[in-house]
Amino acid sequence: KDMNKKAPVALRINPDVDAKTHAKITTGKTENKFGIAQDEAEMLYDFVCKHPYLKPRGFSMHIGSQLTELAPFRQAFEKMAELAQNIRAKGLKLESIDIGGGLGVTYHDETPPDLKTYAGLVRDNIAPLGTQIILEPGRFLVASAGILLTKVIFVKKGESRRYLILDAGMNDLMRPALYDAWHTIRPVDNGADRAISTYDIVGPVCETGDTFATGRPLPEMNPGDLAAIMTGGAYGFVMASNYNTRPLPAEVLVDGNRFAIVRPREEIEDIIDKEIVPDWL
């Protein structure tokens, strides 16, 4: 109002659809914190349309991440289409519908959704509405484009387990600790000529949760060997932290035999330099 401008607004809808994915990354059920209930949406959209400083654009939804089944998408799209038709029936303007993302990828043995079938769901349910359609398939596009390159720093033989201790930790790749997520781990040299051993693959952080894999068979590895933790292009570096005063790793962009450091390696001094000592200490 102070700037005499209209703010474009889209309402995020919670369609109450079970995405059939990990509980920590489902976002479209009533018990999740996201979005507004569908039965409230028409009233709120009408409010936006009548407000002098709000410009209605449409609706958005996102029911979860790493979905491998298409049935939840169908349910959510049908609900969004019904809502849009009700809005149009009231004579209200609807420009866009953001149907979110969530398309799964293969980390272990998952089968990603068929894109043609997914596109058919969009064509049959959303396209007839004649709005702009926004999609957000982030993980599907970038997950397989990234790996975490790490070095073995120690092989510890416990009473009942062998621990392969890496120089990467949960602060570098949070997903296994946070979601019990699987990431394929392989020696950089392939290790085809070595016997197979079973390891718990862990990092050096002072947390038992600093574990990348449990009971994972790998070619025998020794200190100094390099390993690649695969499918780290989504929710990898963006979730990294300085926990345990661990500097962030470098990010390297690779294209064939070309490479470039696109984010330099952080040093401990970089972390400490960000700390400000108050005058009164």
Tens digit of each residue's pLDDT (9 = 90 or more) over 52-69? 999 999 999 999 999 999
Return the SS3 of 249. coil
Catalytic residue among 89, 206, 238, 281: 206
| DSSP assignment letter at 92 | -
Burial class (CB in 10 A: 0-12, 13-18, 19+), 280: exposed
pLDDT in tens, 56-112: 999 999 999 999 999 999 999 999 999 999 999 999 999 999 999 999 999 999 999
Q: How would residue 179 be classed by pLDDT, with cut points 50, 70 and 90?
A: very high
Q: How would residue 155 be classed by pLDDT, with cut points 50, 70 and 90?
A: very high
**pLDDT (0 to 100) of residue 139:** 95
Using the predicted structure, report yes or no on whether residue 191 has a pLDDT greater than 90: no
- Catalytic, 49? Answer no
Q: How would residue 274 be classed by pLDDT, with cut points 50, 70 and 90?
A: very high
Entry field: residues in the chain: 281
Helices 115-125 & 71-89 angle (0-180, nearest 10): 20
pTM above 0.85, yes or no: yes
CA 83 to chain centre: 28
Q: Residue 163: phi, psi to the nearest 5?
A: -105, 125
Using the predicted structure, report yes or no on whether residue 271 has a pLDDT greater than 90: yes
Q: How would residue 42 be classed by pLDDT, with cut points 50, 70 and 90?
A: very high
Q: How would residue 227 be classed by pLDDT, with cut points 50, 70 and 90?
A: very high
